[in-house]
Amino acid sequence: KRVEVVIGDGAVYLKKHEDEFDLIIVDSSDPVGPAESLFGEKFFKSAYKSLKKDGVIVTQAECFWLHLKLIKEIADFIKNIFPVVEYAYTGVPTYPSGNIGFFVCRKDNLSSKVPCRKLAKEDKDRMQYYNEDIHKASFVLPSFADRVINKKK
């Protein structure tokens, strides 16, 4: 079985599964109410333990236009858990400010900023939005956000 969709409390679920997943995708609601635990340090530590040695977690990480302080707080502690933490964003016209961000956290020392494989021509021709340049550009942040999230001067 390649994929299992679990509808439930992700924080509770991960505590019961160690060294089990190649990839964890968290498409949560905002970090208040029921989803609050999915933005905390305990959750990311559980996710780290749940991932296999080369595992990756991608998680909703708010919008830098509206929640830069929160993104920085989360980035600061997950950088102490995962060796590679990268923030990316994409346009979603229905979201406030039209953008949503996500963290890509990896246990290996690879970057997600460049696609790991080339798409076949027939796959490229079917794509309506995604392409290699969009992938790379999603990790390029405005200077004000880059300085805060990635602590660049």
Distance CA 117, CA 40 (A): 32
Q: What are phi and psi of 132, to 5 degrees?
A: -60, -40
Tokens for 108, please give them: 């290996």
Catalytic, out of 27, 54, 76, 123: 27
27 flagged as catalytic: yes
DSSP 3-state of 68? helix
Q: Which regions of the chain does DSSP assign to beta strands (E)? A: 21-26, 51-60, 84-91, 99-106
Give Cβ neighbours of residue 58 (< 8 Å, ≥ 6 apart): 23, 24, 25, 26, 102, 103, 104, 105
Which sign does the torsion angle of CA 146, 34, 15, 19 carry?
Answer: negative
List the structure tokens of 71: 């993104």
Active site residues: 27
